[in-house]
Structure 1
Amino acid sequence: MTAACEGCRGGALFETPITMAFHPIVDVRSKRTFAYEALVRGEGGQSAGAILAEVSPENRYAFDQNCRVKAIELAADLKLAAEDAFLSINFLPNAVYEPRACIRLTLAAAMRTGFPVQKIIFEFTEVERLDSTHVLNILRSYRAMGFKTAIDDFGAGYAGLGLLSEFQPDFVKLDMDLIRGIEKSGVKQTIVRNTLTMLKELGVSPICEGIETIGEYEALRELGVDLMQGYLFSKPGLASLPAPIWPQASPAASRAIA
């Protein structure tokens, strides 16, 4: 057993009971649910922020593993794969010591529940500066094992062009600050338009998140965005798979994006 595995085994347990809320990522062109993102919640209704506040360097490995297993178990119980949708799981890069060793519980949960590993997306946000070699090793290992990969909050924090130049994930989720009020901002439209062009040339599928208004939806449709996520379509469902609400674009916008 490696020193890293010994470190995992010797780490603190994450003892707060957790569950997951599922938030749909929708394909607005085909009007189907493309994926559900699993968002951690406390079993007693605690918010994600309250749960994450209990994560420490000592228990983050146990927390990361608990989240993966709980997401897969609930997704299997809810028959998510039967809807031909992906399951998107957030992971902490600094809780992954060696990708192939730390993936064992994930694979065991998928095998036990019958959830197909090819329908799992692993997404991460670089909220702190990390060793890029380590992050790239994780992403490349996950891809080699058949998982899809995604970079979240692209355009914010440290998840930027440097990482994208070294590894092209399956998906990039544009940061919601770029999306908020985009219909009123020519600058944001220019940034997003050129980002979408770059991602298309790299073979990466964009997902725009944080969409809350019809105006944002219409602006993104005019820019050619198909995959979206936000409260406009649905709020996260606690241990459930909420069906999205499909917005009705204005007649002028409908003609523009048809």
Structure 2
Amino acid sequence: MAFQPIVDIHTGLPFAYEALVRGANGEGAAEVLARVSPENRYAFDQQCRVAAIEGAVAAGILNTPARLSINFLPNAVYSPVACIQLTLQTSRDTGLPTDRLIFEFTENEHMADTAHVKNIVDSYRKMGFGTAIDDFGAGHAGLGLLAAFQTDYIKLDMELIRDLDTSMPRRMIVEGVVRIAKSLDITVIAEGIETIGEYNVLRCLGVRYMQGYLLARPAFKALPVIELPSQDYAAVA
């Protein structure tokens, strides 16, 4: 696993670290996920959860107040209660409190049964976990998915963020999503921030939590150092 912080720009501290799967030889997530099949999906999902928790604790997350955000495959969960047992055991073994766990699922994974995903989200909430829709604004659902059920967080897809400072349509869409999320009591996280211009627009729109290369690149088996733009530089950039 590699880890990338989700930064609270009000404090400059990590709100959470997202665990990003990597291959044995450093292969990226896309290459690893391409090898996931219906036959190995469940085992892969379970092993990723264990690797994320053990890796984060080994990297020092217990020395921070940050949460750990884990990507999961909804189609690999046949029963929320049964499939969470190994995760709970790993949390106990490592000393990571379960209320510091966030589970992200991506819109890019086809979800044939929305009711099943809603059941997972509802069950995880009852267990004290945070839940998030990753890559919001891309993939199979979009606002239709948000109408079916609401997670604690939505992570705006980087394609919406890219060139946000020079694209009025993107800015209007992001502003609309932020307004909707606030009305639904959902926290917005913006991912893929690479420029000061994107950072400034998001800050002006009231987005508090950000993730991207501008702030910190993922670090393999480590928690990277956050480089928050100075207020003076950000204000005039």
Give me the TM-score of the superposition, normalised by structure 2: 0.95
Instruction: Name the counterpart of 1:57.
Output: 38
Instruction: Name the counterpart of 1:31.
Output: 12
- Gaps of at least 5 residues in structure 1 are 1-19
Q: Secondary structure at the match of 1:115?
A: coil
Instruction: Name the counterpart of 2:180.
Output: 198
Q: Secondary structure at the match of 1:136?
A: helix
User: For residues 222 and 170 of structure 1, what CA distance do their matches in structure 2 show?
Assistant: 22
Instruction: Name the counterpart of 1:4.
Output: none
Q: Secondary structure at the match of 2:49?
A: helix
Instruction: Name the counterpart of 2:133.
Output: 151
Instruction: Name the counterpart of 1:139.
Output: 121
Q: Secondary structure at the match of 1:183?
A: coil
Instruction: Name the counterpart of 1:101.
Output: 82
Instruction: Name the counterpart of 1:232.
Output: 214
User: For residues 173 and 133 of structure 2, what CA distance do their matches in structure 1 show?
Assistant: 18
Q: How far 1:134 moved relative to its partner?
A: 0.6
The CA deviation string for residues 97-117 of structure 1, in whole angstroms up to 9 with x for no partner, is 111011111011001111100
Whether the 8 Å CA contact 2:74–2:111 is kept in 1: the answer is no
Q: How far 1:52 moved relative to its partner?
A: 1.3
Instruction: Name the counterpart of 1:209.
Output: 191
Higher relative contact order, structure no. (Cα contacts within 8 Å, ≥ 6 residues apart): 2
Residue 254 (structure 1) aligned with residue 235 (structure 2): yes
Instruction: Name the counterpart of 2:66.
Output: 85
Q: Secondary structure at the match of 1:173?
A: strand
Instruction: Name the counterpart of 1:111.
Output: 92
Larger Rg computed on CA atoms: 1
Whether the 8 Å CA contact 1:212–1:230 is kept in 2: the answer is yes
The CA deviation string for residues 105-159 of structure 1, in whole angstroms up to 9 with x for no partner, is 1011001111100000000013214210111011111111110000011111124
Whether the 8 Å CA contact 2:75–2:111 is kept in 1: the answer is no
User: For residues 135 and 66 of structure 1, what CA distance do their matches in structure 2 show?
Assistant: 20
User: For residues 206 and 153 of structure 2, what CA distance do their matches in structure 1 show?
Assistant: 16
Matches within 5 A, 1:39-78: 39-78=20-59
Q: How far 1:249 moved relative to its partner?
A: 4.9
Aligned residues: 236
Q: How far 1:250 moved relative to its partner?
A: 5.3
Whether the 8 Å CA contact 2:107–2:136 is kept in 1: the answer is no
Whether the 8 Å CA contact 2:7–2:15 is kept in 1: the answer is yes
